Structure 1
């Protein structure tokens, strides 16, 4: 078995320096950190938190990897983080939050230093660069999100494709024949973020199935962005009567923008959203929505990790079915 002294000898540093380089508990120069990390990889060193704890106990820590990249809505991240932390405490675990955009290196550092027993991974992309590392590590992991090829991984998420379909089904059932999706910021799609891409797939698939006209518009946040996208929608689709929003900060700004352009919600325009239920319910006009169940997803992710740590088999993929709640923002299409 490779020991920390072997790593220190290969890197030409002391064992304590190896420990600090892996744990980040003290500042280490970039050059020294790279030498230590190279030695760890070359020797296959994998310290386990339990091996350094009294009586072989685990660290009782779960890591939560959620890079705060451009286009990520921090309040959503906060809801997920709280749900993970709450569920972890119920299993006598604490949570180590990894928020930097360091990708694989952050997870590798946690695994190499034995800082956590397992990791929850968020903001999953269809071709996520972290996946090869997660498959190679002995560190158990659960993804909140489903990549294009989930083989060898454990994933849980809302069925976003079905959520997009459900919103269109609702609008089509009310007689709307021209609909649009106001989506996440453009960089979310550029990164091929899994949940955003799948919602678009569901939206367009359902629109095609109902043979209704549809367009997709990625959008930033804020009132200026809401006004610009509302003007563009009405310019390009003058017969528009139904909108699906997958960008929760835009709910009230979009309602205001459409009203300034002479369209009342829901008299002239029906609006649905995919977002946390409290956000939809507290909008200026309560919005018909498919809820993003952050509390349930975080709890399920932790429960799956606890099962994996105990050696219990778990399903590869768990998709929560979407549920639509009707509120005041949708109505039957007005007669022409």
Structure 2
């Protein structure tokens, strides 16, 4: 099936079909509908290679995905699937890169004209890829916020406010000593933006509300590490009654370890999680949590990238406001708190 077959079926010239499909010229609504109906009836699909040559585009978006041992892969894949789904709605495919390829990977795909735009995840505060993204001349969108955002399009959850929200929730329930079980140590060593901002917001809100936050425990994404974190918390900080967990892999085994040690949730310890809703809902008891809107963040990133392809690349930072869902894991502080 060729463009000439579509033209004959619709009773127009091949160039008119081309203009309808490319949008490069204004075509009357009646003619456009007739051509699109012929495309549907005949099952015509433009040849990807020819279309790319004609438009000087590849119709591919690069997605840089974090695939590290300290990354919760199910959440990363939620982002990736959402990017692919939204990109396909705009007739684009997605090329996956890993963060290990770094700046060289970005230069490779841009220099070979493999992609039209780039979406980057797992953004660090001082991210070495930022100068390269500015040099490449392709629309680029970050799911995350670096320190220097000049000229960049960034979307993210407001993680600093998420940290504040969790601390305030616990303090408002009367908890005066709080702890934080966070991401693996390497995440903080890299100064990954979402983790650093969450912890800053948590500490800030605790200080503002007159609460103590003596314990911050980075935690590897294993059951053994979560159990060790629980033992350290109970041994070194017995007065803590409010706990914030930002580590999907550790949430369930941490609560289980507290229970095995004779501490009830929320009777002895109230727990708030930051992360995927299915993890919070699947823990016993279900955890009060600030959810991670992975699908919305991914979709917004693709929309900004596509707008950039059309010449409208709005720079700036979009932070989605966090929402805390109160479930069964938080309650007023026990009377012995602060005693």
- TM-score, normalised relative to structure 1: 0.83
RMSD: 1.6
**CA positional deviation for 1:51:** 10
- 2:248 corresponds to: 248
Shift of 1:55: 2.1
Matches within 5 A, 1:257-336: 257-336=257-336
2:219 paired residue number: 219
Q: After TM superposition, which residue ranges in structure 1, 4 or more long, deviate above 3 angstroms?
A: 49-52
1:106 is aligned to 2:140: no
1:101 alignment partner, SS class: helix
Counterparts of 1:143 and 1:50 in 2: how far apart (Å)?
28
- Tell me by how many angstroms 1:218 deviates: 0.6
* CA deviation map 1:101-124 (0-9, x unaligned): 010011111100111100000111
Show the counterpart of 1:186.
185
**TM-score using structure 2 length:** 0.82
Aligned residue in 2 for 1:170: 169
The one-character-per-residue Cα deviations of 1:249-297 (angstroms, maximum 9, x if unpaired) are: 1111011111111110111110001001122112221110000100000
Cα drift, residue 53 of structure 1: 2.7
| CA distance in structure 1 between the aligned counterparts of 2:99 and 2:263, rounded to whole angstroms | 42
Could you tell me whether the CA contact under 8 Å between 1:103 and 1:130 is conserved in 2? yes
Distance across 2 between alignment mates of 1:154 and 1:292: 20
Mapping 1:120-131, distance limit 5 Å: 120-131=119-130
CA drift at 1:69? 2.7
Max Rg structure: 2
1:134-167 superposed Cα distances (whole Å, 9 cap, x missing partner): 0111111000000011112111000000000000
Q: Map 1:84-95 onto structure 2 (within 5 A).
A: 84-95=83-94
Tell me by how many angstroms 1:50 deviates: 9.7
- The alignment covers a number of residue pairs equal to 288
Segment drifting more, 220-229 vs 245-254: 220-229
Structure 1: state its 5+ residue gaps. Answer: 1-48
Equivalent residue runs for 1:48-197 within 5 Å = 53-99=52-98, 101-197=100-196
In the alignment, is the contact (CA less than 8 A) between 1:67 and 1:103 conserved in 2?
no
Superposition deviation, residue 314 in structure 1: 1.7
Local SS of the residue matching 2:61: strand
Is the contact made by 1:50 and 1:58 (CA closer than 8 Å) also made in structure 2? no
Cα distance change of structure 1 residues 207 and 124 upon mapping to structure 2, 3 Å threshold? same
Structure 2: give runs of 5+ residues left out of the alignment: 1-47
